[in-house]
Chain A
Amino acid sequence: MNEVRVLTPTGMLGAGFPPETLTRGLELGADVIAVDGGSTDSGPYYLGAGIAKTAAAAVARDMRMLLRAASAAGIPLIIGSCGTSGTDSGVDWVAGITHGILAEEGLDLKVATIYSEQRADDLAARLDRIKPLPPAGPLDAATLESCRHIVGMMGHDPIVAALEAGADVVLAGRATDTAIAAAFPLMKGLPPGPVWHAAKIVECGGQCTTNPRAGGVLATIDADGFTIEPLDPDNACTPTSVAAHMLYETVNPFTMREPAGTIDVSEAVYEALDTRRVRVSKSRFVPAGQHTIKLEGARITGYETMSFTAIRDPHILGQIDTWAALMRKMIGEWVSGTLGLDGSDYAFDLRLYGHDAILDGIEPDRRPPREVGVMLLVRAADQQTATAVAKVANPLMLHLPTPDMNYLPSLAFATSPAETERGAVYEFALHHAVDVDSPTSMFRLNLPPDADSINPRSDADATHRRPDADATHRRPDAVAINLPEDGDA
């Protein structure tokens, strides 16, 4: 192929997109559809709990349109970071939805799944090959063991392996945002500079256009560069809107590390072809001497209970910081007196929404607020303790006056009961990369045993093994393909 057209209808599977975006993309000759299914952006809960951020119905709505389009055009569909965090449960969740739709629609597409979850003890055995990424420090085995889920972030190679094996639909675990769009054009032999830069530009769908809400984009990649255009005829890509997308959610706008090397757009040239299409050239990809896989892991830090009250009384609001300081002091005293707990047993955060909750100590505007929502967030090692602390604080959240008041006000609880148990809370514990000898060895690729049959049950069974479930089944029996083994396996 001299050129490859990559269609990205939306930046997130389940976010929705106008059906016309797909129709238009196919009319323009799309060769592959690539959609991201995940992100760490919404926090560590989704990886820690192995639960998706998106609603199943929203994913199904998008997948139905995508599967119909891929089938009608006879082009591959690639979904990355399935189930938000790319855990094995996330891949299985999207696979289940996919097979249901294929059966309902009578579509005959071969679905490959790629698992990226990692075992802590496998990684602990090669700590010498795991390097911290700034601002993290060195890794130890205890940190790995503390994680509920660990995923490795795949590059394009495992996805290419699935496509080369004949997959029509690739459902990948955790993958770089760019790898899902880069895999097919790289497999077709297009040069990595334009491919990786185009993949970065399309990764958030319409984010690189002048109206990000108007559907997705199409990138046409060739040997010298790529052309990017929006799929809504009334939307536009401009040199500024495209170049500016390199700023989005990146630390460094000029270089980006991938498992196989570094995207370098510092010399890239962005030119308007017309009022809505942009040509990009002089993008570079610098291969790395050492292939690396970034790790993500999340662990439980405790259990939280939340209470929420609100204040409208101007007298209290006029000295809200004094009131909050008294509240913090009183909670400590009452919890100590009633429960016998001290600061090593629990922690709490008191947030004054409407005053300075968001920016806290760096809030530049200290004028008295008109009303304030008071959130008390309590964390402890177990749920019962967190809730007990919040309940002990309940009379204070209802009646605490300012020091100069000689009566008890009654404040405005938002709900009954006032307390809400939030369950386990998590933190990201890993920000590290592991050196690997093979870009595919950490990932497990599954294809259905019979590529011509539509049999959701057997495929779901074959792919439902997590790495920590059974060490002897790292590649389940039903795997039709074995990826190359190497020292990392």
Chain B
Amino acid sequence: MPETRTIADLALEVRSKNAGPFWVTMELFMRDAAGYTIVADPGYLNATVIAGLYGVEPDTVQIFRIPALDVVKISFPRPVPQGSLRDRDIHAGQHHVPLALFPLPGPVT
């Protein structure tokens, strides 16, 4: 049985990081324009999907699609205050994983 293909399979790098103490930002650096076209499709990756992955409100999610770099960038307010009792990732540097492991759309070829 083939493993489910994910965004990470089409990306050079998927990363996350604080953007100041109150925001987290993530970037999908795609390998090529074909991969970019898939993840830049708002029908596939949108604020509602991101909100579901990260447990945040959809209207707080900002998505920037940058075809010149084959990059999709996603920013939203940090759900847990930085450095608080329940902050398990001070730099938010490991929070890209749910996005990187998000299944690609459609049938696997």
Contact = CB atoms under 8 A, between A and B. Distances in A.
B20 to A, nearest CB: 6
Contacts of A75: none
Interface string A38-76: 001111110000000000000000000000000000000
Nearest to A270: B68
B83 A431 contact: no
A141 interface: no
A377 B83 CA distance: 12
Nearest to B27: A247
Contacts of B55: 361-362
Nearest to B95: A359
Given A244-B69, A253-B66, A431-B22, A358 B88 contact: yes
Nearest to B18: A41
Contact of A251 (B25, B83, B85, B95): B25
Q: Among B21, B53, B82, B97, find the residue whose CB has the most chain A CB atoms closer than 10 A.
A: B21
B81 interface: yes
Contact of A243 (B25, B68, B88): B68
B21 A431 contact: yes
Interface residues on B, range: 35 or more
A272 interface: no
Nearest to B17: A249
A431 B81 CA distance: 12
A431 B95 CA distance: 22
Interface string B80-109: 011111101111001101100100000000
A425 interface: yes
Given A240-B69, A244-B71, A428-B21, A360 B88 contact: yes
B20 A358 contact: no
A296 B62 CA distance: 24
B25 A250 contact: yes
Contact of A244 (B17, B29, B85): B29
Contacts of A304: 85
A136 interface: yes
Interface in B1-57: 17-23, 25, 27, 29, 53-55
Contact of A43 (B29, B82, B95): B82
A362 B64 CA distance: 23
A363 B62 CA distance: 22
A105 interface: no
A418 B70 CA distance: 49
Interface residues on A, range: 35 or more
Given A40-B21, A244-B29, A252 B98 contact: no
Contact of B94 (A296, A348, A359): A359
Q: Among B53, B60, B85, B98, find the residue whose CB has the most chain A CB atoms closer than 10 A.
A: B85
Contacts of A363: 98
B82 A364 contact: no
A136 B86 CA distance: 19
Interface string A140-153: 00000000000000
Nearest to B89: A358
A426 B83 contact: yes
B19 A428 contact: no
Contacts of B84: 301, 427
B68 A252 contact: no
A256 to B, nearest CB: 11
B89 A249 contact: no
Contact of A247 (B62, B71, B81, B86): B71
B81 A427 contact: yes
Nearest to B81: A427
Interface string B55-81: 100001010101011010101010001
B66 to A, nearest CB: 7
A484 interface: no
Contact of B85 (A252, A296, A377): A377
A43 B85 CA distance: 12
A347 B85 CA distance: 8
A362 B53 contact: yes
Nearest to A378: B85
B94 A135 contact: no
Interface string A238-268: 0010011001111111100000000000000
A253 B73 contact: yes
A252 B89 contact: no
Contacts of A106: none
Nearest to A44: B83
B85 A428 contact: no
B101 A364 contact: yes
Given A135-B77, A247-B71, A254-B64, 4 more contacts: A134-B77, A247-B27, A250-B25, A357-B88
6 contacts: A41-B17, A240-B69, A247-B27, A252-B62, A301-B84, A428-B83
Q: Nearest 7 CB-CB pairs, A to B?
A: A43-B83, A135-B77, A428-B21, A251-B75, A251-B19, A44-B83, A379-B85
Interface of B: 17-23, 25, 27, 29, 53-55, 60, 62, 64, 66, 68-69, 71, 73, 75, 77, 81-86, 88-91, 94-95, 97-98, 101
Interface of A: 40-45, 133-136, 240, 243-244, 247-254, 296, 301, 304, 347-349, 351, 357-365, 377, 379, 425-428, 431
